[in-house]
Structure 1
Amino acid sequence: MIKTDELRGVIAKNGYSQTDVAGMIGITPKTFYEKMKIGVFGSDEIQIMIDKLNIKDPMAIFFAQE
């Protein structure tokens, strides 16, 4: 399960909007919001976010335990 609140924080800290990140990973903003709501992204999308947002500890955000 993805910690969407932490992901939102990382996006903001990097000076991007969720719409910007949607463009980075090649999906529409609407699709991005839907994925954030259910907390599920594909592995390719996760890798792009890790690289572009310079996420140092991706396990804590993308592979969080309940």
Structure 2
Amino acid sequence: MILTNKLKGLIAEKGLSQSDVAKEIGITPKTFYEKMKIGVFGSDEIEIMIELLDIDDPAAIFFAPKVTL
């Protein structure tokens, strides 16, 4: 499960839009928004985002544990 709020923050910090990131990973903005909504991306998409956004600790964003109550 992805921490989408952290990912959105990183995208904004880099001066990019979610549409920019979608284009870089090869999907439509609509598909990107849908993936953000459910918090799931493919490993190839994650690798591109890690490089594009210069993420130092990808596990903190892309591999967050699922918490149940």
Pick the TM interval, shorter chain: over 0.9
- For 2:12 and 2:37, the matched residues in 1 are separated by 17
CA drift at 1:62: 0.0
Q: Which has the higher helix share?
A: 1
* TM-score of the superposed pair, with normalisation by structure 1: 0.98
Moved over 4 A (4+): none
TM normalised by structure 2 equals: 0.94
Q: In the TM superposition, what is the alpha-carbon distance from 1:65 to its structure 2 partner?
A: 1.1
Q: Any unmatched runs of 5+ in structure 1? A: none
The match for 2:40 is 40
Distance of 2:57 and 2:11 partners within structure 1: 14
Partner of 1:26: 26
Structure 2 unaligned regions, length at least 5: none
